[in-house]
Amino acid sequence: MSDSGARQCVGVLRETAPGETRVALTPAVLPDLAKSGFSVVVQEGAGEAAGYPDAAFVERGAKIVATRGAVLEKSQIVVAVRAAGANPAWSDADAAGFTSGQTLIALCDPLSGAAASAALAPRGIQLFALEMIPRITRAQAMDVLSSMALIAGYKAVLLAASGLPRMFPMFMTAAGTVQPARVFVVGAGVAGLQAIATACRLGAVVHAYDVRPTVKDEVKSVGGKFLELPLDTQGAAGAGGYASAMDESFYRRQQELMAQAVSGSDVVITTAVIPGKPAPRLITRAMVEEMQPGSIVIDLAAERGGNCEATVPGENTRVGGATVMGPTNLPAMVPYHASQLFSKNVAAFVKHIFAKGPSAINYSDEIVRETLICRGGELVHPKVGERLGAKVTMTLDL
């Protein structure tokens, strides 16, 4: 780093969001950060829930401090898994500990939780929201959403396999043949493709549907069979590889056509999300009621309201003979490796943003521009401003 060789201190906070077990940085990335000119302080116990004891951080060069306040006092850059709108437990007291000029890097849900992110602006905090990292080639190493979606897709299949009163693979035995489970995955993004691949490895017969017909080859490449529906999908592919929101008539027709696939499946896993908007309703309660007893629906869009009409976020709900699961944070159920991947993404982001020091950030860089929410006492992200009814123009020379 430049800036007269000054080392920037990165602070790692213990998570306060309910049920959050991940940690923003793991010991493995600390030597690389040190080579890039960063020192690290970690709040006591920050990594314990993920399987990373304080001693492991100390061994890799970090300093352990007892309190959140001590982390904030010593750090110029603060990293967390969930903050602002992404943390239901976030309060004014959390924000009060920051000082003007500090940088906060975390998942912040700045589109759906715009007010919580904007509230940090008057404190002079430089806020970067990890959800907003653009899906471009040079940002792949920083893409926390893809990393966490991969884990969610994997874990969803394991939950289904554990809860289903049937086995996933086919078995041919002296007592007869056990037919394989039938799994239907809705949405073939990162989570969906991982769910397809995992279910196939466990021996299930897997069909998948996505509003974007261009992902057909990707579904096949991981072992799934693509379900084609006679729908007009022009304009279905949005920015960054996400699906675009469609109108109500499209979703009604889609539901009608998918009903047979849902009722004929032992497991349905839904993964359809649209950044900053409620999840599209794709599965009706009536469709779930037609499923066989013991069937399972796992709704990975539960945190955004759910793809299934019967989903209750954070709960398992009985609908007829089926169970609808609404997990809201599956990566936190695999915290060791989820933290490992998240940490590598965050470390790559920190090194990119501060490559030439804190006073030489390239604010015209696309990665910086798309993730920067607040700076210099102002809300600077136009999309976040739109959510609050304010016209915001990003100024690069604050």
Q: Hey, what long-range contacts does 383-390 have (CB within 8 A, 24 or more apart)?
A: 383/110, 383/111, 383/276, 384/110, 384/111, 384/114, 384/117, 384/118, 387/111, 387/114, 387/276, 388/114, 388/115, 388/118
Domain end call among 283, 311, 328:
328
Predicted confidence at residue 381, as pLDDT, reads 96
Judge if 218 and 311 occupy the same domain.
yes
Closest CA to 180 of 150, 155, 200, 194: 200
Domain end call among 328, 358, 374:
328
Q: Please spell the DSSP secondary structure of 240-309, one letter per residue.
A: GGPBPP--HHHHHHHHHHHHHHHHT-SEEEE----TTSPPP--B-HHHHHTSPTT-EEEETTGGGT-SBT
| Catalytic-role residue among 32, 54, 112, 146 | 146
Active site residue 140: yes
The answer, yes or no, to whether residue 224 has pLDDT greater than 90, is yes
Active site residue 76: no
Examine residue 393 and state whether it is found in any structural domain, yes or no.
no
Judge if 273 and 175 occupy the same domain.
yes
| Catalytic-role residue among 109, 143, 210, 299 | 143
Judge if 110 and 32 occupy the same domain.
yes
User: Among the listed ranges 3-17, 270-284, 322-336, 353-367, which one has the minimum average pLDDT value?
Assistant: 3-17
Predicted confidence at residue 2, as pLDDT, reads 44
The answer, yes or no, to whether residue 98 has pLDDT greater than 80, is yes
Mean pLDDT for all residues in the chain: 91
Q: What is the DSSP letter of 27?
A: G
pTM above 0.75, yes or no: yes
Examine residue 300 and state whether it is found in any structural domain, yes or no.
yes
Judge if 219 and 180 occupy the same domain.
yes
Average pLDDT value for residue range 93-118: 94
Judge if 96 and 129 occupy the same domain.
yes
Average pLDDT value for residue range 264-269: 97
φ/ψ region of 308 (left if φ > 0, alpha if ψ in -120 to 50, else beta) reads beta
How far is 143 from 398, CA to CA, in rounded Å? Answer: 27
Predicted confidence at residue 237, as pLDDT, reads 54
Domain end call among 328, 352, 371:
328
Length of the chain: 398
Q: How many C-beta atoms surround the C-beta of residue 137 within 10 A?
A: 7
Active site residue 251: no
Predicted confidence at residue 196, as pLDDT, reads 98
Judge if 87 and 154 occupy the same domain.
no
| Catalytic-role residue among 54, 135, 166, 201 | 135
Average pLDDT value for residue range 41-47: 98
* Domain membership of residue 48 as a residue range: 3-143+335-387
The answer, yes or no, to whether residue 398 has pLDDT greater than 50, is no
Judge if 123 and 217 occupy the same domain.
no
Examine residue 372 and state whether it is found in any structural domain, yes or no.
yes
Q: How many domains does the chain have?
A: 2
The answer, yes or no, to whether residue 255 has pLDDT greater than 80, is no
The answer, yes or no, to whether residue 4 has pLDDT greater than 50, is no
CATH code of the domain containing 79: 3.40.50.720
Average pLDDT value for residue range 43-65: 98
The answer, yes or no, to whether residue 241 has pLDDT greater than 60, is no
| Catalytic-role residue among 2, 91, 140, 179 | 140
How far is 301 from 75, CA to CA, in rounded Å? Answer: 35
Residue 256: band (very low, low, confident or very high) from pLDDT cuts 50, 70, 90: confident
Q: How many C-beta atoms surround the C-beta of residue 167 within 10 A?
A: 15
| Catalytic-role residue among 3, 166, 201, 242 | 242
Judge if 150 and 31 occupy the same domain.
no
